[in-house]
Amino acid sequence: MRVFKPTYKDRLGNKRELRKWWIELTDHLETIRRFAAFSDKALSEALGRQIERLVACRIAGQQPGPDLSRWLEAVPNKLRMHLGSIGLLDRTRAAAGKALSEHVADFEKSLLAKGSTTGYARQTAGRVKRLFERCRFTTWTDIPSPENHKCLSNQDVTENGKTNLAEKFSLILAEHPELEQIVLAWANLSVEIRRIIGKIIETNE
């Protein structure tokens, strides 16, 4: 990785540096990529290290871990989508920072596009939205992964005494089985989310 400031010539022919630092690195396809960073060099280097971690995950064929996923949620959407466009993130991960409420809104639009009535689309999407609100899920990475989820396990509470979110999610689905197909229909918008939710439902049967 290289962190540098590009130069240019002004109208008088004098050599000038850009205000921001840039990152140059080689991606998983051995293609040299450049990314605009920050005016602070240390922050730019930190950004470069995170992108290098994404490259390493891509080369190893692994998904970004929890820490890297949380970082992806916080980065500007423009950068996240650029990472997706060059293949460092799949479509789901590129949309990691998109709020679940926005995904549900897209789901409602997709129902209308398929010919559902306005009332049905609104009601169905509303049920999914309320489910996520009750579980306090705001982005798709909040949804518990199969690896971390043990439905109805002995560990009923977290350290702060609150109900485990993964268990709460399963309990709500158990209380309202009609939500199962609705949630899975919504999850069709993302293969990864469908896999996760499907695994949770499977362990609840």
Which of 94, 118, 147 terminates a domain? The answer is 94
| Residues 57 and 113 both lie in one domain | no
Ranked by mean pLDDT, the top range of 125-129, 135-139, 159-163, 180-184 is: 125-129
| Residues 82 and 151 both lie in one domain | no
DSSP character at residue 145: P
| Model pLDDT, residue 108 | 84
Q: What's the token pair of residue 140?
A: 């798709």
| Model pLDDT, residue 156 | 38
Q: What is the pLDDT of residues 110-155, one digit of tens each?
A: 788 888 899 988 888 888 788 778 777 777 666 654 443 333 333 3
| Residues 113 and 188 both lie in one domain | yes
| Residues 144 and 72 both lie in one domain | no
Q: Whole-angstrom Cα distance, residue 95 to residue 140?
A: 9
| Residues 130 and 53 both lie in one domain | no
Average pLDDT, rounded, for the chain: 75
Higher pLDDT, 152 or 170: 170
Q: Whole-angstrom Cα distance, residue 156 to residue 170?
A: 12
Number of domains in the chain: 2
Higher pLDDT, 161 or 74: 74
Q: What is the pLDDT of residues 44-87, one digit of tens each?
A: 999 999 999 999 999 998 888 878 877 887 788 788 888 888 98
List of residues 6+ apart from 166 with CB closer than 8 A: 144, 148, 149, 150, 151, 200
pTM of the model: 0.54
| Model pLDDT, residue 127 | 80
Which of 37, 60, 94 terminates a domain? The answer is 94
195 pLDDT band (50/70/90 cuts)? low
Which of 94, 124, 154 terminates a domain? The answer is 94
CA distances from 182 to 53, 116, 185 (A): 36, 13, 5
Higher pLDDT, 189 or 20: 20
| Model pLDDT, residue 149 | 39
Residue 42 is part of which domain span? 2-94
| Model pLDDT, residue 159 | 42
| Residues 140 and 113 both lie in one domain | yes
| Residues 81 and 123 both lie in one domain | no
> Strand (E) positions, the chain?
2-4, 7-9, 15-17, 22-26, 32-36
| Residues 16 and 78 both lie in one domain | yes
107, 128 contact by CB (below 8 A): yes
